[in-house]
A and B are shown apart, each in its own frame.
Chain A
């Protein structure tokens, strides 16, 4: 779940880390309090999610440890709260803090998988479109136009709905797959457009022609020569997209058409808590809500900062 890209790069090229620490991006990072705070928050969320099985004080899925007498306890600092449950418990006596950590794990897993899938799809189609051109390019770009004219969340909802109708008694894995696919299919367009644009520029350059002259095939030129040169902007887009994917996942789960109820994500937790809003048990809904807010906002801010830091026009 963590991104292996920086560490791999550092291992492959000696001194890459040193160069990074000396570079513009790191300097801009150190001077931007917003970037520091938001990256700390993102790291906290990711760590809580990644190490949930070891960090969480309780196991919210272990039915044996749940006690109904502990149900709906408020956070521990309130009068009726118990020190055992820092943020209180839900209607089945689950510890909210632990449920949050496991929920963030599921939310982030779905979001990252969806973003990864849409990056792969978008980059592949963009490369093809920009490199081959002609009718294929025209067709892919028309599809992009159409996709862009619908809001992402609507497309995801419609694909998810159609998927659910096709597999009415989908088991857990399939429900996850449909959800991830639905989010990924809404996100690939911007990668395809970006990559297409830069591929068309790269295609004209001498190294591509040189590769052609020595007889390298088109597929190999696209993969080995053009691809590494068009990936930069994609990474920035992908960072911002994770926030978007987290929100779409949470929304679909909140609407009851997202992750299966056996593995509750942050959206599912909010949905469950929503039923208890009127009986005064605000904490069941508010904590996952705040967690989602913090996660989405800090990833967004980090992405914004990264875009500005890497954009040579603004410097």
Chain B
């Protein structure tokens, strides 16, 4: 168990270092910062002095070490486009992305699991087949197209809901929230539906497949033979056993929400991190790109690690198998 955790941790560190290296290499391609800062007329002495001050005369490995140390503290320098510190920019945008992802995650789970259970238990019914058809549509449609069609119907044609921005926000210290105003909630509806569709469809299909698998096993037959009610068999035994794989994959998928938020945020001009990143890519704003790259990788690595550990905690078979070695 401990060896497993250590191996996973080591792997996570290697991944983060690789990502940091890619981010570091990005900076090497933007040209010489000394020339940019001093202009063409500076003397060689001035250049050398600045080069020393910035640590650019150090060997490559030392420079990379400095970059990693700064990155670990959240320091990525100034945004080239907006002239602000990257950490400030990202912290400003973080609440918007997290709130959007949170609502989408809740929607996906709260609708996806019951829909999947229903589709498995009543799979001969027309309504269950319609649900499955819709879920196929949900996993095949590109996110941005869903967003555009929602805007077209609910914002342009029906004029019910707003289609861009966060609306009215309230500042709670450094956290600006849209969840305390009616306007903020209205602005959340379309983006969070857009963001959750793919995950919702995926969770539903997964729960259905797992349920069908479990319902075929012997212990379910045995539970029936004991004369348990349908309710107890379905929810007490079957659903409980499907939750292990569902939890693992769902955990990973919810990490995906933060990534998919890039698309949703662009469609709805939602002022989150993803929108910031896309603008940074378009303007080759390297410090922002590097920071986002590192942050999103960190989120994913942490989620993967937690899911791995959860898997251990939940599934006793895995522990026994590993312990036997």
- Report the nearest A residue to B137, measured CB to CB: A297
Among candidates B30, B282, B300, residue contacting A149 with C-beta atoms closer than 8 Å? B300
Are B143 and A158 closer than 8 Å at their CB atoms? no
- Whole-angstrom distance between the Cβ of B257 and the nearest chain A Cβ: 10
Is there a chain A Cβ closer than 8 Å to B72's Cβ? no
Determine the main DSSP class of A at the interface with B. Answer: helix
Closest Cβ–Cβ distance, residue B79 to chain A (whole Å) = 14
Tell me whether B293 and A289 are in contact (CB under 8 A): no
B142–A251 CB distance below 8 A: yes
Min distance, Cβ B306 to any Cβ of chain A, angstroms:
12
A254 CA / B143 CA spacing, docked (Å): 11
Docked CA distance A293–B277 (Å)? 26
A251-B300 CB under 8 A given contacts A165-B286, A286-B152, A292-B145: no
Kindly provide the distance from the CB of A296 to the nearest chain B CB, expressed in whole angstroms. 5
A180: chain B residues at CB < 8 Å are: none
Please tell me the number of chain B residues within 8 Å of chain A, measured between CB atoms.
Answer: 42
Which chain B residue lies CB-closest to A288? Answer: B145
Give the residue of A151, A160, A250 whose beta carbon is less than 8 angstroms from that of B142.
A250
User: A168 an interface residue at 8 Å Cβ cutoff?
Assistant: yes
Q: Which of B61-69, B175-183, B259-267 contacts A (4 or more CB under 8 A)?
A: B259-267
Identity of the chain A residue whose Cβ is nearest the Cβ of B28 in the assembled complex = A166
In the complex, the answer to whether B151 meets A277 with C-beta atoms within 8 Å is yes
B22: chain A residues within 8 A (beta carbon): 162
A150-B30 contact, Cβ under 8 Å, with A255-B278, A282-B156, A293-B141 = no
Cβ-defined contact, A251 with B156, below 8 A: no
Q: A154-B259, A165-B289 are in contact. Are A243 and B140 (CB under 8 A)?
A: yes
Q: Which residues of B contact A158 (CB under 8 A)?
A: 293
CA distance A161 to B285 in the complex (A): 10
A305 to B262, CA, bound (A): 32
Chain B residues with Cβ under 8 A from A254's Cβ?
142, 144, 263, 266
B293 contacts which chain A residues (CB < 8 A)? 158, 161-162
Question: Within 8 Å CB of B141, what residues of A?
Answer: 293, 296-297
Taking the closest CB of chain B, its distance from the CB of A32, in whole angstroms, is 15
Query: Contact string, B254-274, partner A, CB cutoff 8 A, digits 1/0?
Result: 001001101100110000000
- Residues in A with CB closer than 8 Å to B300 are 149-150
Q: Is B161 an interface residue (CB 8 A)?
A: no
Question: A209 to nearest B CB, angstroms?
Answer: 31
Chain A window 46-61, contacts with chain B (Cβ cutoff 8 Å), 1 for yes, 0 for no: 0000000000000000
- Which residues in B have their C-beta under 8 angstroms from that of A301? 136
Contacts of B140 in A (CB 8 A): 243, 247, 293, 296-297, 300
List which A248-290 residues lie within 8 A (CB) of chain B. 250-251, 254-257, 270, 274, 277-278, 280, 282, 285-286, 289
Shortest Cβ distance from A246 into B: residue = B142
Residues of A within 8 A of B110 (CB): none
**Complexed CA–CA distance, A126 and B121 (Å):** 39
| Interface of chain B residues 145 through 171 with chain A (CB within 8 A) | 145, 148-149, 151-152, 156, 163
The answer for the CA separation of A280 and B301 in the assembled complex, in Å, is 44
- The answer, among A154, A165, A277, A293, for a CB contact under 8 Å with B145, is A293
Residues on B with C-beta less than 8 A from A280 are 156
> Of the candidates A151, A164, A297, which one forms a contact with B256 in the assembled complex, judged by CB atoms under 8 Å apart?
A151
Do residues A153 and B148 form an inter-chain contact, with CB atoms below 8 A?
no
Q: Quick check: A285 and B148 within 8 Å, CB to CB?
A: yes
Closest chain B residue, CB of each to CB of A285:
B148
A21 to B30 Cα, complex, angstroms: 58
CB–CB A289/B278 < 8 A: no
Q: Is B106 close to A, CB under 8 A?
A: no
Check: A242 CB closer than 8 A to any chain B CB.
no
Complex alpha-carbon distance, A277 and B284, angstroms: 28
Closest CB in chain A relative to B174 CB, distance in Å: 27
Contact indicator A165/B29 (Cβ below 8 Å) = yes
Q: Are B260 and A153 in contact (CB under 8 A)?
A: yes
For residue A161, which residue of chain B has the nearest CB?
B281
In the complex, are the beta carbons of A274 and B148 less than 8 A apart?
yes
Q: Provide the A149-179 mask, 1 if CB < 8 A to any CB of B, else 0.
A: 1110110011011101110100000000000
Please give the distance in Å from B315's CB to the nearest CB on chain A. 19
Q: Is B241 an interface residue (CB 8 A)?
A: no
Q: Give Cα A302 to B30, complex, Å.
A: 45
A75-102 vs B, CB cutoff 8 Å, 1 = contact: the mask equals 0000000000000000000000000000
Interface residue? A146 (CB, 8 A): yes
Assembly CA distance A255 to B293 (angstroms): 17
Task: Given A151-B256, A257-B278, answer yes or no on A165-B284 (Cβ-Cβ < 8 Å).
Answer: yes
Report the bound CA distance from A293 to B140 in whole Å: 8
How distant is the Cα of A297 from the Cα of B201 in the complex, in angstroms?
A: 14
Whether a CB of chain A sits under 8 angstroms from the CB of B9 is no
In the complex, which residues of chain A have a beta carbon less than 8 angstroms from the beta carbon of B29? 165-166
In the assembled complex, the Cα of A168 lies from the Cα of B282 at a distance in Å of 10
Q: Given A243-B140, A251-B143, A289-B149, answer yes or no on A257-B260 (Cβ-Cβ < 8 Å).
A: no
Q: Which residues A215-268 have CB closer than 8 A to chain B?
A: 243, 247, 250-251, 254-257
Chain A residues with CB under 8 A of B91: none
Extra inter-chain contacts (13) besides given A146-B11, A257-B278, CB under 8 Å:
A149-B300, A154-B256, A154-B259, A161-B281, A165-B289, A255-B263, A255-B266, A256-B278, A257-B281, A257-B282, A289-B145, A297-B136, A300-B136
Nearest 10 CB-CB pairings of A with B: A154-B259, A161-B281, A151-B256, A166-B29, A247-B142, A300-B140, A297-B140, A168-B284, A149-B304, A254-B144
- 9 inter-chain pairs at a CB distance below 8 angstroms, sorted by A residue, are A164-B284, A165-B286, A247-B142, A250-B144, A251-B144, A256-B282, A257-B278, A286-B152, A289-B149
